[in-house]
Amino acid sequence: MSKASRAADAPALSALTHRDFRIFWIGQFTCHIGDWMLVVGGGWLTAQVTSSATTMAMVDSIATLPMILLMLSAGVVADRYERRKVMLVAQVLFVALSLLGAALVAAERVTVGLMCVWYLLLGAILSLNAPARHALLADLVPPEHLASAVSLRGAAFHASQLVGSALAAALLAVAPLYWIFIVNALTFLPLIYCLLVIRPRATHAQKNAGMGVSVAAGLRYAWRSRQVRALLGVMGLVSVCILPFSHVFWPIFVEQALAGSELDLALLTSGSGLGALLGFLAFSWVGERGRLGVALGSGALIACALWGLSLTSSRTVAAGLAALMAFGIGLMLGALSTLLQLAVSDEMRGRVMGFSEVTLLAIAPLASITVGAGIDALGLRETMRLAGLCCLLPVTVFLLLLKMRRSR
């Protein structure tokens, strides 16, 4: 049996039998809670500074510039140096940046220009952190438990969205906005401690090839593999058409469609977190043969939920539809990520996962500029309907073609 097959057949919680992974997983969960608190607080701060959807999207997408420029090279760094230490450096930088944000908000010095600089720094640190974080999983568990580790990391991410959004709502109700940034800085401390106490296996780094040569080799590999190319393409379509609405424009949706408040924003974000978590849990029951079918069905579910959101003015209905859309996104990204993990060779895994991070983290905010311009020109509801159609049709074609190839 191949390593990929053993990884696919391993129990869902098997990675938790390894001490270092358990410690790392707890630290990541705590850190992600702070991340989602910052998403809620940062989004609300941006909406207060500017009322333009285009400007709001531009501020948020600024962080993608260093990701596009640095993420692929950072993937090579994660293969060459000790990943634990690379992550430690990144966490310390995150703490410093969060405290800087708290100071600016407390001093009431926040402007659109300063927010752009802050997000540029955030994107640079994210670029350093993300490839090392994904690659470190392979150093904490044996190959047959890698799929379990990836799934549990996704569960922590989605569960923390639910917890972090609720905590952000509670904090915004009783404290000034700058406390979101302070608490975010504090949530990095448990992860720093966890990184200090774990002892991952030594990484067999290959330092002979130059940076450009290593990046080019990964790009060639991803392009020449039809399955990898198709899966990354579908991720890109979801990032362009769907993720801007779930990651960037909730504040505008709350203001324009619901005429709501910070609590309504937290309710929608919490609903999204709950839906994504349930989507992950549902996907854990899907067998290997059903993954492509689940990805197809979830595409239709996402489009229907987005259309429903474009028609409602009820906060309760909107929260339910947001959860339903996130459920579909969780199913689809769970299926695509698992298929991608099993499709790549071990020596290219880090770089291909880096490419998927660029697709999910960088393309969505960048596409939000176009989506924001569409909202300003056509209106929020019309743009949501158009995005649903633009996602549904190409994704269905991509996945059907991939399913036919795999059947043959």
Q: What is the pLDDT of residues 318-377, one digit of tens each?
A: 888 888 888 888 888 777 877 777 777 767 776 777 777 877 776 766 677 777 777 778
Predicted confidence at residue 27, as pLDDT, reads 94
| Residue 335 located in a structural domain | yes
pLDDT at residue 214 is higher than 60: yes
Predicted confidence at residue 2, as pLDDT, reads 45
| Residue 50 located in a structural domain | yes
Q: What is the pLDDT of residues 245-280, one digit of tens each?
A: 776 667 777 777 777 676 777 777 777 777 877 887
How crowded is the C-beta side of 330, counted as CA atoms within 13 Å? 30
Task: Print the domain residue range for 362.
Answer: 12-199+211-407
| Residue 303 located in a structural domain | yes
The arithmetic mean of pLDDT across residues 35-45, rounded, is 83
The mean predicted confidence, pLDDT, of the chain is 79
The arithmetic mean of pLDDT across residues 1-5, rounded, is 43
| Residue 3 located in a structural domain | no
| Residue 234 located in a structural domain | yes
The DSSP annotation for 121-185 comes to: HHHHHHHHHHHHHHHHHHHHS-GGGHHHHHHHHHHHHHHHHHHHHHHHHHHHHHS-THHHHHHHH
Predicted confidence at residue 352, as pLDDT, reads 78
Cα–Cα separations (whole angstroms), residue 68 to 65, 117, 195, 274, 336: 5, 16, 27, 30, 21
Q: What is the pLDDT of residues 124-166, one digit of tens each?
A: 999 889 888 887 887 888 877 766 777 788 778 878 877 887 7
Predicted confidence at residue 393, as pLDDT, reads 66
CATH code of residue 266:
1.20.1250.20
CB atoms within 10 A of CB 234: 26
The model's confidence at residue 190, banded by pLDDT at 50, 70 and 90, is: very high
pTM of model > 0.75: no
Rounded Cα distance, 389 and 50, in Å: 29
| Residue 4 located in a structural domain | no
Cα–Cα separations (whole angstroms), residue 7 to 13, 15, 341: 12, 10, 10
Predicted confidence at residue 325, as pLDDT, reads 87
Cα torsion through 163, 168, 169, 172, rounded to 10: 160
Lowest mean pLDDT among 51-60, 157-166, 178-187, 350-359: 51-60
Predicted confidence at residue 262, as pLDDT, reads 67
Q: Residue 24: which of 202, 176, 149 has the closest Cα?
A: 149
pLDDT at residue 25 is higher than 90: yes
Rounded Cα distance, 226 and 64, in Å: 26
Predicted confidence at residue 98, as pLDDT, reads 93
| Residue 370 located in a structural domain | yes
Rounded Cα distance, 331 and 395, in Å: 14
Share of the chain above pLDDT 90, in %: 15
| Residue 206 located in a structural domain | no
- The domain tally of the chain equals 1
